[in-house]
Structure 1
């Protein structure tokens, strides 16, 4: 399984546009084959940071996602809404266990 965590600092003047882009991306991405889960959330300590949490079955699913129209739209419009450099981390996970709380 491939897991991505991405953090995007958003220009406050373009926050609503960024949230609309994120919402569309999440909706469309969760329909893709090979996507286990795709979510976005606003950081609780900085409401101008959007964090993405993505899980893919494999590298092929991630590559297909990056080739999708909705991801390409994000790539094209992202520079207009950013306030800094994104931080994107990729993890290759061999096992995941749900914890009971």
Structure 2
């Protein structure tokens, strides 16, 4: 499994536009083969930071996502929405288990 965590700081005045684009990206990404889950949320301490949590079956699914039309559209629109540098971290995971709380 492959996990990606990404942070995108967006301009306050373009936040609503960014969130609409993110909403479409999340909907369409969750329909892709090999995507386990694809979620986005705003940061509770800074609502102008959008965080992505993505899980893929494998590297091929992640590569296919990067080539999808909806991701390409997001990537094309991103520069006009950003308020800083994005941060993206990839995790290659051998196993995962739910924890009892």
Match of 1:100 in 2: 100
Q: In structure 2, how many angstroms separate the alpha carbons of the residues matched to 1:18 and 1:89?
A: 21
Q: TM-score, normalized by length of structure 2?
A: 0.99
Displacement of 1:100: 1.0
Match of 2:48 in 1: 48
Displacement of 1:79: 0.4
Match of 2:74 in 1: 74
Q: In structure 2, how many angstroms separate the alpha carbons of the residues matched to 1:5 and 1:21?
A: 18
Q: Can you list the C-alpha shifts for 1:10-58, whole angstroms capped at 9, x where unaligned?
A: 1001000110011000000000000000000000000000000000000
Q: TM-score, normalized by length of structure 1?
A: 0.99
- How many residue pairs were aligned? 101
Q: In structure 1, how many angstroms separate the alpha carbons of the residues matched to 2:4 and 2:26?
A: 14
Structure 2: unaligned runs, 5 residues or longer: none
Match of 2:20 in 1: 20
Q: In structure 2, how many angstroms separate the alpha carbons of the residues matched to 1:36 and 1:80?
A: 29
Q: In structure 1, how many angstroms separate the alpha carbons of the residues matched to 2:54 and 2:78?
A: 18
Displacement of 1:67: 0.4
Output aligned runs, 1:80-95, within 5 Å.
Answer: 80-95=80-95
The alignment yields a C-alpha RMSD, in angstroms, of: 0.4
